[in-house]
Amino acid sequence: MTIEFETPKPITQQQYVLKTVADNMMRPHSRYFDENEHEIPWDYINFMHQAMKASGAGSLAPSDKKKDPNKPKRPPIGYQMLAHMLEVLSWGDTGMYLITPGGGLGAAAVQSAGNPEQKKKFLARFMDEKPTFAAMCMTEADAGSDTSKIRANAVLDDETNEWVLNGEKIFVTAGDKALTDYEEAGQGFIVVWATIDPEAGRAGMRSFVVEAGTPGAKVTKMEHKLGIRASDTVTIVLQDVRVPFENILGKPTVEKTTKGFKGAMATFDATRPLVAAMGIGVARAALEFVQEKLAEEGVEIRYGKPRNTLTSIERDVIDMEVMVRSAWLVTLKAVWMADNRKSNALEASMSKVKAGDVGPKVTQKAIEILGPLGYSREFLLEKWFRDAKITDIYEGTGQINRLVVARNLLGYRGSQLR
C-alpha cells in the first residue's frame, strides 16, 4: 500500500467551500473576536453546524446503513479530510476554528475508546438541530504532561450503580461551551480523565462522559490567553458528580496492564496530526501574507538560483516555504496511516513536533521581514504570531512529543527514557 500525493477529489471539493468560509466568515472577524475574548460568534457556529449536517461531516456515530457488497470500496480518507479542513479553517482563524461544533477532543475520545452503544448515544447528537460541543478534561494543577499524577477520582456507588467523580481540571479547551447549557446549543459533554484505583497508577486511569447540566460539574474560571482568544479555555471543578455506570469509556475493572490508559492515549495518535495541521494553517497564512506584500513592492523570489546569489529576504522566504511544506508532508503521512489503521504513534508525534516548531518560527520571521508593519495591529500578522505558539503546547508539549519520538525510534519504554 502506497501513499498517494494527489489530493482526493472529495477533499478538493471540500477545500473550495472551506476557503470561501475562511475568506468571508473568519478573516473579516478575526480582529474583533481576538479583542473581545469569550464573546461567542454564533453566526459562524450556526453556519458551520448546518453546513456540516448537510454534508454529513458532523456525523461520527456508527451508521445503520448496510453496505453494498457489490460497490467498490473507496480508500479511507476521513482523517486526511479532517487535516485538510483544519488547515484551511486555521488559515482563516485558528481561534474561531477551535469553537467549530463537532466535538473536538471530547468526541475523539469517545470515537477511540467508546463502545458502539456509547458512540451512537454521544456522537449522534452532533447531527442534532442545534450545534453541540464536547471537550477533554485531562490537565490538573499537579498533572500536566505527566498524566500518571492525575488525582481526579471516580468511585462506584454500589447502591445506585453510578460513578461519583471528584477533582479539578484546568486548561480545558471549549469546556465552557461543552458544559454550559446555552440556549443556542444542544446538550454537550466533557470527557473526564480520572482514576478508579489510585494505587494502580496508570492502570487505574479511565475516561468518563459527563453531560452538560450534570449537578456538581461547574466552570469556575475562564482563562485570558496570549492567542486563540475566540476559543474558551476553562477550569472545571467536579464535586460529587454522579454519572451513569455505562458512561465509563473502557473496562470498569483494574487490570495488571495499562491497557485502559493506552486506549485513552490512542486518542492523541489520531488528534496530534490534526493539531499539527492547524498550526501549519497559521504558518501558511503568515507566509502567504509576506509573499503578497513583497510582490506588491516588486520583490521577486528567484527560485532555482544558487543560494549564495540570493538576497537575505529571498533565502528567508524559501526557508519558510521549506518549513511549511515539510511539516505538511509529515502530517499527511500521519493522517494517512490513521485512515489505514496503521500504528502512527511515531508519525503523529513527529508531525506535532514539526508543526509546533515551524509555526512560531515562520510567523516570527514574517514579522521580522515586514518590520514595523508586521509588528503593528494594522495587519493580522502579530495575531498569527500569538496564535502559532499554542501548537507547541497543547495536545502534548513539544518536549513530551520529542520523548515519544525518541522512545519509538530507540525502542525504550517511558520508564527508561524520561
Residues carrying an active site annotation: 395
CA distance 317 to 365: 9
CA distance 394 to 384: 16
Contact 264, 207 (CB under 8 A): yes
Sign of CA dihedral 65, 69, 71, 76: positive
Q: Which helix (H) or strand (E) holds 153?
A: strand 153-157
Q: Using alpha carbons, list the distances in angstroms from residue 202 to 149, 194, 297, 395.
A: 9, 10, 57, 18
Q: Using alpha carbons, list the distances in angstroms from residue 268 to 46, 98, 108, 246.
A: 28, 16, 9, 23
Q: What are phi and psi of 383, to 5 degrees?
A: -70, -45
Look up residue 143 and give its DSSP letter. B
